[in-house]
Amino acid sequence: MDEKQLREFFEERMKAEKLDKRTRYHHRNRFVKKGAVLFAGSSLMEQFPIEEFLISRGIHLTAYNRGIGGFVCSEFDEALEECVFELEPRHIFLNIGTNDLNDPSCGGEELVRRLEPIIKKILARLPGVKLTMLAYYPVNPDAAPEFMRPVFEARSNARVREANEAVREMSERLGLGWMDLNRGLYDDEGRQRAEFTIDGMHMYADGYAEVFRELEPTLRLLAEEENR
């Protein structure tokens, strides 16, 4: 198998895995509690162990995670039924678009062009839903394994900051929530802390614990609303 065939093999395998997750979510959604809190997006959301943190902190909040690793905006758009609409959530925390940054031509303006129709579709289908965009996490190319280094030529911290600013401005314009939960993730050079990172971009639970620390007051308020 040559390099081209190998690449095509892994692309087809990843495509099949994404479809399988959508199918599994569809079946699981038959058993969810409507009007709950939803976390959705790509792998940076899928790997957020929100259930464990809620339990460990004694927060009685019904929350579901419907992230799917590898998703770009267009794939998330195609999966809105399984990842959003079937759950009929009251509050959505969304982190989608970092994989789009792997495309060197996708800057902040282009990312918003891809995101905005999806956001408007969600708001139209779920009137009254509260949607909060979460800032993309910093990366650390220096802590990444060698085979991952080329990815960071496009997904640099400079481009992540540009994307965050563009999505923040979009959120304000559309009346969405915006939260930057990254304060505890940075090292002295503004990179993702090496002890948190798996591959330069994805994080161990230790990193997500810092994210959760920033999000916890909001989740406690949502839990109070749910349990009144």
Backbone phi and psi for residue 179, each to the nearest 5 degrees, phi listed first:
-135, 125
Average pLDDT in the 199-213 region? 97
Q: Specify the 3-state DSSP secondary structure of 12.
A: helix
**pLDDT above 70 as % of the chain:** 96
- The secondary structure of the chain in percent helix, strand, coil, rounded to multiples of 5, reads 55, 10, 30
**What are the boundaries of each domain within the chain?**
35-226
CA 68, CA 94: separation in Å to the nearest integer? 12
Strands (E), 83-157: 91-95, 130-134
pLDDT class for 12, splitting at 50, 70, 90? confident
Contact present, 70 and 12 (Cβ < 8 Å): no
Q: What is the per-residue pLDDT for 2? A: 63
pLDDT class for 228, splitting at 50, 70, 90? confident
Superfamily name and number for 35-226: SGNH hydrolase (3.40.50.1110)
Contact present, 132 and 174 (Cβ < 8 Å): no
